[in-house]
């Protein structure tokens, strides 16, 4: 068998790094004071994998086309590696402060990234499922990482039970699809279904063929969508999100709101636009409804939240709704729609990670014990601009970007998304999106009101470890740069999706 091994070199590298990080704990642990070495190895592993990616030849298929490396996969792997390394950077000091500075954290983090990378490249439902499980199993562990914290336990348990349920639905969908088409391979299913459409159109004009009108095909579509919507936290599969996001360690929540979401969307792009492209009339309607529900529920419930972490959880639900809107649009305008989805996911990764990082960095004095504990409530942010103007300003950038105010990445991202909806003749959908952005301004800007216009109520402090600030500066700069020079990145996004079709 002749294999082009270079195509999976980044994955091999991440695997070796993960095993190495676990190995450090095994052999080297008595010589080191803390786990900084694990973090450094993790970061350099991800860095090397990231640098390898542009040099690999795109459009390679290996393992009899189980695994494809196209520009879309490369783009998403870069998103995963960037957000993963940001997460590792912000975790170093956070884990020390919370008393859980353990090496396993980095190993499991790397495995979750490996799972996402496999999902981005998978051209077969078996591989998609395995990547999904690798990612999810890692997050079961990560969300329960503060194991003496009851809420962290609750988060892990809730995610485990509901995640298992979603995986089962997804698997059921795969098995039904296999029953109808006779294959689990995405490109084969795509070809088979397109051919059925064509022969159906030939025989009787306007009547779709027997296979396409299979009730079973629609059923498997619904089940696949249910499994994926769970991972990207879309309504009505969002129930776990607020509790899990609130209970999990903040660094994990930050990564959870970006990585699995992006991975879920890349699978959605491949499954819906390629494998089930022939069924677009069906999934377009379903996704349009889900998108509207997700945006509206996320934004309206976020208004009622006093806990900032919970509020950001609902905000991330709302953002999944915006991205779904782009996928609906790409049913009609393939390239523009999916390019805007890809573009928005990268912008969202930076701004959302940034917002969570500010939340993670901010600590307040507990009135009873006098210890510094993580700040969670809206009140804890009051008067931050007077105590720490720089942190306050960075939060302003991220909040502006999440709202969609120029000149930030969020504005351009939303502009492209809504424009593609207009191009697709879905003006009403774009209007609902814009109304939702206006609603979201209320709760994003309310944080800024607390930061800039109120007097401090508690003793605050901001984590000043250099690793965290490197990450924070990178994310703030990226958020601004994407907002000022969007064309460059949008062309990359467009080039990455063209290879899909």
Query: Which spans of this chain sit near another protein (rule: CB under 8 A)?
Result: 1, 8, 15, 22, 62-64, 66-67, 99, 102, 104, 107-108, 111, 114, 118, 124, 126-127, 130-131, 133-134, 137-138, 140-141, 144, 147-148, 156, 179-180, 182, 210, 214-216, 218-219
Instruction: Closer to another protein by CB, 179 or 406: give it.
Output: 179
As beta bridge partners, residue 122 has 67
As beta bridge partners, residue 60 has 69
Instruction: Closer to another protein by CB, 129 or 348: give it.
Output: 129
Shortest approach of another protein to residue 264 CB, angstroms? Answer: 18
State which H helix or E strand residue 374 sits in.
Answer: strand 372-374
Instruction: Closer to another protein by CB, 108 or 272: give it.
Output: 108
Shortest approach of another protein to residue 77 CB, angstroms? Answer: 15
Shortest approach of another protein to residue 325 CB, angstroms? Answer: 28
Extract the tokens encoding 356.
């969570």
Task: Give the chain's length.
Answer: 501
CA distances from 339 to 269, 327, 407, 414 (A): 11, 10, 20, 12
Shortest approach of another protein to residue 6 CB, angstroms? Answer: 14
Q: Is 63 left (phi over 0), alpha (psi -120 to 50) or beta?
A: left
Shortest approach of another protein to residue 297 CB, angstroms? Answer: 20
Shortest approach of another protein to residue 111 CB, angstroms? Answer: 5
CA distance 279 to 38: 47
Shortest approach of another protein to residue 175 CB, angstroms? Answer: 12
CA distance 423 to 366: 53
Instruction: Closer to another protein by CB, 216 or 477: give it.
Output: 216
Instruction: Closer to another protein by CB, 42 or 316: give it.
Output: 42
| Residues 6 or more apart in contact with residue 227 via CB below 8 angstroms | 166, 167, 169, 170, 171, 173
Instruction: Closer to another protein by CB, 167 or 408: give it.
Output: 167
CA distance 395 to 249: 20
Instruction: Closer to another protein by CB, 144 or 321: give it.
Output: 144
| Residues 6 or more apart in contact with residue 278 via CB below 8 angstroms | 190, 193, 194, 196, 197, 212
Coil, strand or helix at 56 = coil
């Amino acid at each position: 068998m002749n294999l082009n091994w270079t195509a999976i070199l980044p994955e091999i590298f991440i695997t070796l790094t993960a095993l190495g990080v676990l190995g450090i704990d095994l052999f080297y642990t008595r010589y080191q004071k803390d786990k900084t070495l694990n973090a450094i190895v993790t970061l350099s592993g991800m860095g090397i994998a990231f640098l390898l990616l542009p040099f690999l030849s795109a459009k390679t298929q290996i393992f009899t086309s189980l695994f494809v490396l196209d520009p879309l996969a490369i783009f998403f792997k870069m998103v995963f590696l960037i957000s993963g390394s940001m997460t590792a950077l912000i975790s170093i000091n956070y884990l020390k402060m919370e008393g859980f500075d353990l090496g396993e954290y980095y190993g499991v983090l790397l495995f979750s990234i490996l799972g996402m990378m496999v999902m981005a490249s998978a051209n077969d439902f078996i591989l998609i499922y395995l990547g999904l499980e690798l990612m999810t199993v890692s997050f079961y562990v990560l969300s329960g990482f503060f194991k003496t914290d009851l809420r962290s336990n609750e988060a892990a348990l809730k995610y485990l039970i509901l995640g298992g349920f979603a995986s089962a639905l997804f698997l059921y969908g795969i098995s039904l699809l296999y029953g109808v088409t006779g294959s689990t391979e995405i490109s084969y299913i795509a070809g088979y279904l397109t051919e059925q459409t064509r022969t159906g159109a030939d025989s009787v004009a306007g009547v779709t063929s027997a296979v396409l009108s299979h009730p079973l095909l629609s059923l498997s579509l619904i089940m696949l969508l249910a499994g994926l919507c769970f991972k990207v936290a879309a309504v009505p599969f969002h129930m776990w999100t607020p509790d899990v996001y609130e209970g999990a360690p903040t660094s994990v929540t930050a990564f959870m709101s970006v990585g699995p979401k992006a991975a879920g969307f890349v699978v959605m792009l491949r499954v819906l636009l390629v494998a089930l492209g022939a069924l677009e009339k069906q999934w377009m309607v379903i996704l349009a409804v889900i998108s509207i529900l997700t945006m509206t529920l996320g934004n309206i419930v976020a208004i009622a939240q006093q806990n900032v972490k919970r509020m950001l959880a609902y905000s991330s639900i709302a953002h999944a709704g915006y991205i779904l809107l782009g996928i609906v649009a790409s049913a009609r305008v393939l390239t523009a729609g999916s390019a805007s989805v890809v573009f928005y996911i990268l912008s969202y990764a930076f701004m959302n990670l940034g917002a969570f990082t500010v939340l993670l960095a901010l600590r307040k004095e507990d009135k009873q014990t006098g210890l510094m504990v993580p700040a969670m409530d809206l009140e804890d942010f009051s008067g931050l601009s007077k105590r720490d103007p720089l942190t306050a300003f960075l939060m302003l950038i991220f909040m502006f970007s999440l709202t969609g105010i120029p000149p930030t990445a969020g504005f351009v991202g939303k502009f492209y998304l809504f424009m593609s909806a207009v191009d697709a003749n879905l003006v009403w959908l774009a209007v609902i999106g814009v109304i939702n952005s206006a609603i979201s301004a209320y709760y994003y800007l309310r944080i800024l009101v607390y930061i800039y216009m109120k007097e401090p109520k508690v003793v605050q402090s901001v984590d000043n470890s250099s690793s965290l600030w490197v990450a924070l500066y990178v994310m703030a700069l990226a958020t601004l740069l994407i907002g000022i020079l969007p064309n460059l990145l949008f062309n990359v996004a467009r080039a990455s999706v063209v290879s899909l079709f």
